[in-house]
Structure 1
Amino acid sequence: MSESLSRTQTTRKVVIETKGGVVAAQHRLAAQAGADVLAVGGDAVDAAVAVSFVIGVLEPWMSGPAGGGAMMLWRADEGRAVALNHGMRAPAALNPADYPLSGRGIAGDLFPWEEVVDNRNVQGATAVAVPGVVDGLGRAHGRYGRMPWAELVAPAIAHAKRGMLVDWYAALCIASVTRELAKDPDAAALFLEDGQWPKIGAWTALAEKRLDQSRMADSLDQIARHGARALYDGDLGAAMAADMQAKGGSLSQDDLRSYAATFHDPLSFGYRDTQLHAVPGLTAGPTLMQALTEAAKTDLTGNAPDAEAFAAYARGLKSAYQTRLSSMGDDGEHPQAPGCTTHFSVVDRHGNMVAQTQTLLSIFGSRVVSPSTGFLMNNGIMWFDPVPGRPNSLAAGKRCLMNVCPVIGEAPDDTRFAFGASGGRKIVSAVAQLTGFVADYGMDIGAAFHQPRIDVSGGPIVVADDALPQSVIDSLSADYDVRTTHRTMFPYAFACPAGVMRKGSVNTGCTEIMSPWGDAVCEKETA
C-alpha cells in the first residue's frame, strides 16, 4: 500500500431501491445500456447481452468479444437456476513443445508458472485461446431472449463508433501496460500515442481524447446483422483467425467453427439457511462450495461479522484452495496482479436474474489486436501450467480452468441475489464473504458491499482490510501471516464485486465502492 494514501477519506455508493429492473456493472454506461433494455420490457438476458457488448467496448482491457467466461441465470418463470459455461479452450493445432521453459524461474504475470521462452504463453498471438463469450451470449439469447438480437448489440456499435473516452482512469490502466502494448503495432495504434503514452484528455476535461474503435464497430455490426455465430462460422471469424496466424498464433477458423458454449445443471448446495447455485466444472464454483461448507462448521452469533466469523471464512477458503491447487491443477496467481476481468449482474422487474463474469485473462489479454476485426485478443493459454504432466498442463484443444465465480443465492424472507466479481484468485474470497454476510447476518446488499473483507487466495498470506477492527486482525494473526492494506481504486488488493438483490418485489444493486466507473442503474434512470 502506498504510504501517501489518505487514511481519513471514505467512499460510499448509493443503493437504489425499485420495483423495476436493476443492472450493476463495472462501467456505468454499460449498466445504463442494460437498464434501457429493461425499461422497454426486455428480459434480464436481453439486458445482459447489451451490457456484455457495451462493456467490451468501454472497458476493453478487461473483456470483449475475443474473451470467455461463465453465466449463472435465475429463471423466475421456471423457478430454477441454470448455468452456462462459455470459457476458452486451447486451439487444436497448439503444440506444447512450442512453449519451452526458459529455465529462469517463475514468470511475472498473473500466475507463478515456470517462465516460458519469450513469454509465449502470456504475450502475443501464441497466447491466444479460442474465445467463447459471443457464442455464450447467443445461446442464452436464443433460449431466453425476447428482444431482437440486433437491437441488443446496437448500443455497443454506437459506443464503438464514438470511441471510448480516455479519462484519467482509462489512461492509468493503459499506462500500466504501455511497454507490452507497444510490442504489437495494432495494439499500439489503438491505445498509445507515438508508441509510448496513452491517449488522454486534458486535465481540465475541456479536450476529449477517444479511441478509434471504428474497426470494432464494423465487426460488431456484422455480429448484430448475422448473429453470434458470425464470429465463428463466417468471414469475421476467418479474418480474426488469419490475423492471429499471421502473427504466429495457432487459432484457426476450424477452432471457431467447432466451439460451442454449454448449458449445465448448476452446482447447487446449501449454506446455513441459504441455497446457492454456481457454475460447475472448470470454474471456481466447486471451490466456493468447499469454502462455505467448511465455514458452516462454525456456529456464528452476533449481529455483524466479528473475529470468529472471519476466522471461519479464512479456514474455509484455506481448505478450499488446498483442494483446488492440488486436484484442479491451478497452482496460483500473483495476489497483487492488475485486475483482468469484469462482472455484472442483472435483475428484471419479474425477478429473472443474470450473473455474468467475462474476461480476457490478463489485463489487455495477449496485448495483441486483430487488425481485421478491431478486437483485443485474450491470452487464455496462460491459464495452463507450461510444465508437462500436471492436471492443468498445456495441451491442444483443452478447456481452460477459470477463476470465475458467478453465483445465484436463495436466502430466507423471499430474498434472492446474483453476485460475482473480477480479480482472479481474489474472486472466490469476495463471493464467499459477500454470501456469508447475507446468509449469516441478514445484510442487505449495501451493507454487504460496504463491509470490509479479507482475501485468502491459496498463498501463505491473508490480506486484511485495515478498516477491520483490531480484534479481527489480532485473531487472524494468531493463525496466519496477516498483511493489512487500504481499500483503494488502483490497484485492487481485494476483488471488485457487482451484484443485485431482490427481496419480495423490490430490487437493489451495488458495485465495488472503490470502483470509479462501477455503478448500479435502475431501468427508469435516464442517461
Structure 2
Amino acid sequence: MDIREIFQQQKTSDIKKGEQRAIGDFGMTASATKQSSEIGAQVLRDGGNAVDAIVAMQFALSVSEPFNTGLGASGFLLVYNQYSGTTKVVNGHSKAPEHLSPNMCLDEKGELIPFFERTLNANFIGIPGILKAMKKANDTYGTMPLARLIEPSIQLVEEGMEVNWLWERALEMYGDRVGTTARSLFYPDGAPLKKGEIVKNQELAHTLRIIQDKGIDAFYNGEIGEAVIQLIHDKKGCMTREDLRGYRAEIQEPIIGDYKGFQLATPGPPNGAGVSLLQLLKILEKVKIEQYDKNSWEKHFLLAEAMRIVFSDKLTYMGDPDFYNIPVDGLLHPEYIAERVKLIHFERMNQGVDFGNPWKYEEKAHGLPRELRGGETTHFTAVDRWGNIAACTSSLEHYFGSGIMVPGYGFLLNNDLTDFYPTEESVNDLQANKYPVSTKCPTIIFHDGKPVMTLGSPGGPTIVASVAQVMINVLDYKMDLKEAIELPRIYNSTAPKILCDERLDENVKNKLRSMGFELLSTDIAIGNVQAILVDQENNRMYGAADSSRPGAAIGVGEEYIGME
C-alpha cells in the first residue's frame, strides 16, 4: 500500500475553530478536554517528550473530566520509543484486594446483589493503578520532574474549571451515582452544576499539592492512602493498607498483529480488547470489507456479524493470564480466522454464532513477535518532536466510578471489580489478587516499521468497535481523520441487537432489520475516539478529537485549530 494516499486525504485548509482538529510539525496532543490537550501541548513546547505530556494530561483530566478518570482510576499506557524502536505497555490496571471473596457478590440471603448496587459497593473498588503507571512511565521514559507536570493542573483547579456540556449531561443522566461526599462538589446548594458555572475543587488542589511535594508514594504509602483505606473500611470494604502499598505497575510487552500491511501494537491480556481488535480486523481483512462503500449496508452487516463472532470468543476465553492460560495465538491463527469467517453469509444474520475452539490451533500457531521495532473512560494521546508516542486509556469504570469520593481529598474511587463475572463458571471469575478483564484499547499502528497512527476510545464494551471502525475508515477508505472519527458507528455483541448511531442511513437500518437484526438507535455517542496521524516523510502530524465530548487536538510548531 502507498501510505502517501492516506496523508493526501487529510484536510489542511479551510479549517475553522471548533472543528477539534489540528496540524503540527513539532508535536501533537489529543484528548477529551481542551484543558488537558493544551496542558500536554505546553509540555511539548517546553521540551518535554510524549510521556511527559501524557503524565501532565492525566492530572489535567483528573480536574477537567473527574467523573471519568482521576487519582483513583486505572489505565493502560502504550509507549513507543523512537530511539530504541520498541513499544511497551505500562499496566496500571486495577487489581482485586487480598481479602476479596466471591461471597461479597451475595447478600444476607445468599442471593446475588443486583449489578447497580454492586457498582456503588466499596467491595468492588479495585486497587487504583493509574498513578503508579504514571510514576513508572515518568521514571522510565520521562524527562521532566513530576512536580513540573502536576503544576498546570494545580493552577487549573485553583483558578476554577468552567463546567461544560459534558459535566451537565453526566449529572443529568448519572447523577444518581453520586455519593454523599461528592454531592458537595457536583450539587452545590443542592442543585446540579450547569454549563458555564465555575468549579473550584479545593480539596483536590490540596491533594495534588501533597503529591507534588511528596511524590506518588503519598497516595500508596502516605496520608492520602490512609484516607482512602479508612473510607473503604468505614463502608465495609475489604481493601487494606497492604493492598495499596503492594501494588506494582508493570512494564509489559504489547500484543502485535497485522492488518493489510500495517502492524498494530496494543495491550494484551488481562486486557481483552487488544486480542479482540486484532481478531476483528483479521476477519474484516478476510472478507475484504474495503470492496463495499463506507456507507453501505454490506459494510455494516459485516461489521455486525464479525463483532458477534469476536465477542463470543472474548467472553469465553479472556481472563487474567496469571490465573488461566489464554489461547491468544489460537484466536489469531489464520486457520482459526478462516474457520470463523465461514459463519458469515449475506442471506441474513446467522443464528448459530457462538464461541469457537482456538485451542486446537495453539500448537501450530506461530507466536506473534513480542517486540515491534521501527461505563466510562477517557482516552488521550501525544506525539513529540522526536517521534515518540504515548497513548493512554484511563477510567473509573462507570460514570462517577463507585460514586464514593474521599473526604478532604476531592477525588472519586473506581468500581473496576464489577468487570468480574460474579460466578465461578468463567475465566473472568472474581478472585483475590486478580485483574478483571479490561476493554481498554490504546493502539499504535505502524507501516514499514514506522508509526503512522495512534488512537483509542472510551466506551466499555464498545471500545473495540469504535477503534476498529475509525481504523478501517482511515486505512481502507482513505478518509480524512476527523471525518473518519465522525462517521456514524455501530456496536454489536453476541445478541441480535445492534446499537447504532442515530445518524446511520435509514436504508442501511432497514436492510439490517430485514436480515434479522434489532436496531437500537441512540443519540449517546458510541465511543469517543482521539487520534493522531504521523506523516514522517513530510514531518507533519494530524490530530483530531471526537465531537461526542468537548475535547481538542492541539498541534505544536504550526498554527493550530482547537476548540474555542
TM-score, reference length from structure 1: 0.86
Alignment of 1:16-35 (within 5 A): 16-35=22-41
Alignment of 1:35-184 (within 5 A): 35-100=41-106, 115-116=112-113, 121-181=118-178, 184=179
Q: SS at the partner of 1:24? A: strand
Task: Say which of 528, 540, 543 aligns to 1:509.
Answer: 543
Alignment of 1:37-436 (within 5 A): 37-100=43-106, 115-116=112-113, 121-181=118-178, 184-194=179-189, 196-200=190-194, 205=196, 208-210=197-199, 212-283=200-271, 284-302=273-291, 304-305=293-294, 306-328=296-318, 339-411=375-447, 416-436=452-472
Q: 2-side partners of 1:409 and 1:351: how far apart?
A: 13
Q: 2-side partners of 1:301 and 1:267: how far apart?
A: 25
Q: SS at the partner of 1:74? A: strand
TM-superposition CA deviations, 1:267-317 (whole Å, max 9, x none) = 001011111111011211111111111111112455852444333333322
Deviates more, 1:143-152 or 1:441-450: 441-450
Q: 1-side partners of 2:450 and 2:424: how far apart?
A: 49
Q: SS at the partner of 1:256? A: helix
Q: Which amino acid aligns with 2:43?
A: V
1:448: Cα distance to partner? 1.6
Alignment CA distance shift 1:302-1:14 (3 Å): farther
Cα contact 1:311–1:476 (8 A) shared by 2: yes
Aligned residue in 1 for 2:555:
522
Deviates more, 1:254-263 or 1:382-391: 382-391
Q: 2-side partners of 1:412 and 1:151: how far apart?
A: 36
Q: SS at the partner of 1:296? A: helix
Deviates more, 1:91-100 or 1:358-367: 91-100
Aligned residue in 2 for 1:110:
none
1:200: Cα distance to partner? 3.1
Aligned residue in 2 for 1:109:
none
1:471: Cα distance to partner? 5.6
Alignment CA distance shift 1:303-1:34 (3 Å): farther
Q: 2-side partners of 1:398 and 1:414: how far apart?
A: 35
Cα contact 2:428–2:437 (8 A) shared by 1: yes
Q: Which amino acid aligns with 1:397?
A: N
TM-superposition CA deviations, 1:478-501 (whole Å, max 9, x none) = 544142636x4xx32x11111111
1:229: Cα distance to partner? 2.5
TM-superposition CA deviations, 1:346-369 (whole Å, max 9, x none) = 111222111110000010001011
Q: 2-side partners of 1:265 and 1:279: how far apart?
A: 8
Unaligned runs of 5+ in 1: 1-10, 105-113, 331-338
Q: 2-side partners of 1:12 and 1:310: how far apart?
A: 29
Alignment CA distance shift 1:238-1:503 (3 Å): same
Alignment CA distance shift 1:478-1:262 (3 Å): farther
Alignment CA distance shift 1:437-1:169 (3 Å): closer
Q: 2-side partners of 1:153 and 1:275: how far apart?
A: 34
Q: 1-side partners of 2:166 and 2:505: how far apart?
A: 31
Q: Which amino acid aligns with 1:511?
A: A
Q: Which amino acid aligns with 1:216?
A: L
Unaligned runs of 5+ in 2: 1-16, 321-374
Q: Which amino acid aligns with 1:140?
A: A
Q: SS at the partner of 2:208? A: helix
TM-superposition CA deviations, 1:89-136 (whole Å, max 9, x none) = 1111223323215899xxxxxxxxx95169552104233110000000
Alignment CA distance shift 1:47-1:303 (3 Å): farther
TM-score, reference length from structure 2: 0.80
Aligned residue in 1 for 2:14:
none
TM-superposition CA deviations, 1:382-440 (whole Å, max 9, x none) = 11122234322222222121111111101479661111001111111011111222232
Q: SS at the partner of 1:72? A: strand
1:508: Cα distance to partner? 1.0
Aligned residue in 1 for 2:362:
none
1:161: Cα distance to partner? 2.1
Q: Which amino acid aligns with 2:182?
A: A
Q: Which amino acid aligns with 2:267?
A: V
Cα contact 1:20–1:522 (8 A) shared by 2: yes
Q: 1-side partners of 2:400 and 2:144: how far apart?
A: 31
RMSD (CA atoms): 2.6
Cα contact 1:357–1:422 (8 A) shared by 2: yes
Alignment CA distance shift 1:447-1:273 (3 Å): farther
Q: Which amino acid aligns with 2:311?
A: Y
Alignment CA distance shift 1:101-1:326 (3 Å): farther
Q: SS at the partner of 1:496? A: coil
Q: 1-side partners of 2:481 and 2:35: how far apart?
A: 21
